[in-house]
Structure 1
Amino acid sequence: MLRLYFFISLMCLVKSDPDETCPSFTRLSFHSAVVGTGLNVKLMLYTRKNQTCAQVINSTVFGNLNMTKKTTFIVHGFRPTGSPPVWMEDLVQGLLNVEDMNVVIVDWNRGATTVIYNHASSKTRKVANVLKEFIDQMLVKGASLDNIYIIGVSLGAHIAGFVGKMYNGQLGRITGLDPAGPLFNGRPPEDRLDPGDAQFVDVIHSDIDALGYREPLGNIDFYPNGGLDQPGCPKTILGGLKYFKCDHQRSVYLYLSSLRENCSITAYPCDSYRDYRNGKCVNCGIPQKESCPLLGYYADNWKEYLKQRNPPMTKAFFDTAEEKPYCIYHYFVDIITWNKNIRRGSITIKLKDKAGNITESKINHEPAIFQKYHQVSLLARFNQDLDKVSTISLVFSTGSVIGPKYKLRVLRMKLRSLAHPERPQLCRYDLVLMENIENVFQPILCPKLQM
C-alpha cells in the first residue's frame, strides 16, 4: 500500500516545482459512506496553464483563475461508495480542449459520501452557499456573471439551481445532467433546478423512471431515447451495480460526446417521444427552417430560437447508439404502395457502400399503415453515416409467427438524409416485398423535382 501511495505521489508532481504535489479529488471508502461524512467543500482549478495538475483555490486564493475568461464549475452528486467520479478527468480535459477557460471542480465528496441519500441531499444548499461566497469574491475581482457556467450532475444540478437563485437568474448558463429525482420530484421551483435560475438552462434527462427527474427543468430539456432505458445499459439486476447507475450516468457521457469533434448529436424539438419516432418533429435543419438544437456543450447555440417561444422552453428528443460516441444518423424512408388492401407492418432497411460498410435500421417501434397510393414516411436511425450508398435492402414484416405471408407492393421507395439534406435522394420503383424475405437492389437518383 505504501508503494501505491508513493507511486501516485510521483505521478502528480508539478513539473515546475518538484516539491509540490498535485491535489486530487477526495477519495473515500465504503466505510466512510457507512459511518457518514461531514461536509467539506474543496475547489480545484484547472486551466490550460495547469491542465493536468489542479490548484486548490478559495475566496482569498485564486491561483491561475483568469477573471476575464469563462469559469465552468463542475458539481458532482451523491457518492454512496466514496470513490471519485470516473468521468471527472475526461470532462475537465474535454472542456479545456474546446475553449480556453477556467474549470473548477466542486469537490464535496465529504458530505456526498453516505449510504443514506437523504443525508447527502440535505447538504446541497450548504454547498450552494460555499459557491456563492466564492463567486461573490470573483465578482469583486472583476469577473462577470455572464461568464459563469455551472454543470451539475444529479444532486449537483439542484445545487447549481440554488446558486442561480441567489443571483436572481443572472448566471450565464446552467447544465443539469440527469438532475436527481428522489426527494425533488414534485417540489416547487424554489426547492430545485428551474428554467429561471440562469440566462440559459439546458437539461439532459436519461433516467426519468428511477434516479432522475421526470419533468422539464430547463429552457430546453433533452430526452435521449425518451429518457428511459438507455441502449447498452443492463436491463436486469443481473447487470450488478451498473444496472442501477448506467442510465443515470449516460447523461454525462452524452455530454462528453459533444466535446469530441467526431460526434455532434442532433435533437428534435417535439411534444413527445412517440411523435419524434413517428417522424412528426424533424423539420428543423432542412432549408428555410431553424437549425436543430445540438446536445451538450453547444446547446446554447439554440438560445436565440428559444427567445421566440412563449414561454422560452421546449423538449427535444433523439435516439442514441449503444456505444460511444453514441451518434445516430437520421434518414427518411418514404414508401408509396399499391396494394389493394391495407397492410400493417414494419420495415428493416440496410445500407451498404462500395467499401463494404453496412448499417441497419429496424423501424419497428409501432406498425406502419400502408394504404394504396398513400406515402408513408418512416424515420430510420443508423449507427453509421454512409456518404455514398451503393445498395439498399428492405424487409417487410407483419410480426406474425403463424398465418399467411403477405406481400407489400412498393410503387416507389425514396431515401433522404436529414443530417445532410443537400445529398442526392435515392429512389427505387416497382418493388414487391415478400414478407420476411430480404430484397436487395441498387438505388437510382430521384428526379430533382420530387419532394
Structure 2
Amino acid sequence: MLACRRLAALGLLLVLCQGRGEDGGADSCDNFTDLNLSHCFLGTNLYVRLLLYTRANPACGRELHHRRFPSEPLFDLSRPTAFVVHGYRPTGAPPVWIDRLVRLLAEGRDLNVVVVDWNRGAANLNYLAAVAYTREAAHNLTGFIRAMQEEGASLGSMHLIGVSLGAHLAGFVGANLKGKVGRITGLDPAGPLFTGATPDERLDPSDAMFVDVLHTDMDSFGLRGAHGHIDFYANGGADQPGCPKTIFAGKSYFVCDHQRSMLLYLCALNRTCTLRAYPCASYADFLDGRCLQCEAFKPASCPQLGYDVIQWRESLLRLGQTKVFFSTTASQPYRKLNYRVDMVTWNQYLRWGVVYIRLHSGRNVTEARVDHKLLRFEQFTSTRLLAQFEEDLPHVHKISLRINTGNVIGPRYKIRLLQIRLTPLERPERPLMCRFDIIMEENTEVAFRPLSCDSRR
C-alpha cells in the first residue's frame, strides 16, 4: 500500500510516494497523477509529467526532467523508446489500463517506456478545453524528444502509442518532427471535433514512418475513415460483441465499444490473442468471403494486430493505405477461427436462405452462423462463404450443415450439394475438409464425415 504525502508550493503540486520496489525494499516511485471530480468541475491547467519504466522498474515510475533527463541512469538512449499517451479523462482518475500496458511493454521488450501524463489538462468536464490542450502538450513532448535527439537518440527508434484523444496528440508530435518518428499507433482515435478535420488537424499517415490504427467505436467516440498506413477494423470498427445495446446499462453503454480497442491491444501484446485481419474494401465484403487472400503481403500471411505488425511495414508502404477487417468474440482470447467454405449446389428450384455449420470433435461442438444476409442457391451455382467459429477444434470428425430458408408452410424442397469444401484460413497445416454429392432438405440438418478433398465418393 502506498503512503502518499501531498505538498503544495508555489502553485505546483508535488507528490511524494513511498512504496516498495520489485525486490521488496524501500524505493521512491513517481505515480500517475490522480485527480477527482472536483478538479474536473473546476477545470485543470495543463501540466505534463513524463514517467519512465523499464525492465528494471516495470512497476515503479521515475519522473524525467524535461531537460536534465541524462541524470536518470535507467534512461538508456541507445534503447528504443515507447511513449504511452492517454486521452480525455472526464473523471480525473488514472486510466485503468495504464499499469498493465506499461508492464507488458517493459517486460516484453528491452525498451524505455515513457508514460506521458497530461492528466492535468485532460481532466476537465469541458471536452473542448482538453482538445485545445493537445497542441500544447504535443509541443511539450516534441521539445523533450528533440532534447533526446541532441543526446544521441534516434527518431526512427521511437514509437508513440496514443489512445483516443492521445492518438491525435501523438500525431501532432509526429507532424512537429516532420514525420520522422519511427511509428505511431492510434487506438480508436477520438472522433468528436475531429470528424471532417483535415490531415494536419488529426492523426494521419504522414505523421510517422509507420502509422497503424485500430477502430472499435466509429459510430460514437471513435473516428471514422482510414488514418494510417494500416487501419484495423474490429467487427467492422463500430459495435463490439458483448457491449450493451441499450442505455439502461449505464456508463458501459457509452464507453464499452471505445474501451475495447485497449482490451484487444493488451491481449495482442500479451500474446494470448492472435488477431489476424484481412484486407478488404468493407466489412460486408469481408463477411461475404470476398477478401480472404494475403499473398500480397510479406511475410505471406495477413497482418496481425499488435506490436509486431511492424514486420508487414514494407508491404504496407508498397500497397498504400490498407484497410483490414477481423471479427472477435465478446471476451478473451477474442479470436474467431475462420474457414473459407466453397459450395456447389444443384437444386431444381431457386432457394434463398442462411447457413448454419457445426464442427464436432468428440463431445465438443462449435457453430458458425452465416446469417448476415440471404444467400442464393440454384442449379449449378458456386457459393463462397466465410464461416467464423468461436472455438478451435483441431480434430474434426463430423460436420453438420443446415440451410434455413424460413419456409414453414409449404413443402420442404430438396437441395443437392455437388461439393462442399472447408479451408481453415489460420491453420494452413491442417487438411482441407470436403464432402461430395449430398442431398438435404431445406431447414433440416444433415451430418456427414469430412473426407480428403482428393477423394470421391
TM range (shorter): over 0.9
Deviations 1:45-97 (A, max 9, x none): 11001111111112212521111111000101011111111111111111123
Report the alpha carbon displacement of residue 400 of structure 1 after superposing the two structures with TM.
5.1
Report the alpha carbon displacement of residue 134 of structure 1 after superposing the two structures with TM.
1.0
Cα root mean square deviation, aligned: 2.3
Matches within 5 A, 1:296-445: 296-309=306-319, 312-354=320-362, 356-399=363-406, 404-445=411-452
One-letter identity of the residue aligned with 1:250: R
Report the alpha carbon displacement of residue 403 of structure 1 after superposing the two structures with TM.
5.2
Deviates more, 1:372-381 or 1:157-166: 372-381
One-letter identity of the residue aligned with 1:424: P
Q: Is the 8 A contact 1:286 1:421 kept in 2?
A: no
1:160 aligned residue: 170
Q: Which of 51, 62, 79 is residue 55 of structure 1 equivalent to?
A: 62
For the residues of structure 1 that align with 2:298 and 2:148, how far apart are their CA atoms?
A: 43
Q: Is the 8 A contact 2:229 2:317 kept in 1?
A: no
Q: Which of 228, 245, 250 is residue 235 of structure 1 equivalent to?
A: 245
Matches within 5 A, 1:178-197: 178-197=188-207
Q: Which of 130, 136, 148 is residue 146 of structure 2 equivalent to?
A: 136
2:113 aligned residue: 103
Report the alpha carbon displacement of residue 260 of structure 1 after superposing the two structures with TM.
2.4
Cα 1:287/1:188, change in 2 over 3 Å: closer
2:101 aligned residue: 91
For the residues of structure 1 that align with 2:212 and 2:4, how far apart are their CA atoms?
A: 42
Deviations 1:185-225 (A, max 9, x none): 11111111110000000111111111111011111111111
One-letter identity of the residue aligned with 1:373: F
Cα 1:288/1:401, change in 2 over 3 Å: farther
For the residues of structure 1 that align with 2:369 and 2:123, how far apart are their CA atoms?
A: 43
Where does structure 1 lack aligned partners over 5 or more consecutive residues? none
For the residues of structure 1 that align with 2:158 and 2:366, how far apart are their CA atoms?
A: 42
Q: Is the 8 A contact 1:258 1:298 kept in 2?
A: no
TM-score by length of 2: 0.92
Report the alpha carbon displacement of residue 42 of structure 1 after superposing the two structures with TM.
1.1
One-letter identity of the residue aligned with 1:444: L
2:13 aligned residue: none
Q: How high is the sequence identity, in percent, across the aligned residues?
A: 47
Report the alpha carbon displacement of residue 436 of structure 1 after superposing the two structures with TM.
3.0
SS of match in other structure, 1:123: helix
Report the alpha carbon displacement of residue 178 of structure 1 after superposing the two structures with TM.
0.5
Q: Which of 230, 234, 248 is residue 224 of structure 1 equivalent to?
A: 234
For the residues of structure 1 that align with 2:18 and 2:423, how far apart are their CA atoms?
A: 52
Q: Is the 8 A contact 1:428 1:443 kept in 2?
A: yes
One-letter identity of the residue aligned with 2:135: R
Q: Is the 8 A contact 1:334 1:376 kept in 2?
A: yes
2:124 aligned residue: 114
1:169 aligned residue: 179
Cα 1:103/1:47, change in 2 over 3 Å: same
Q: Which of 425, 439, 447 is residue 454 of structure 2 equivalent to?
A: 447
One-letter identity of the residue aligned with 1:412: Q
One-letter identity of the residue aligned with 2:326: F
Report the alpha carbon displacement of residue 401 of structure 1 after superposing the two structures with TM.
5.9
Number of aligned residue pairs: give it.
443
Cα 1:286/1:350, change in 2 over 3 Å: farther
Cα 1:19/1:446, change in 2 over 3 Å: closer
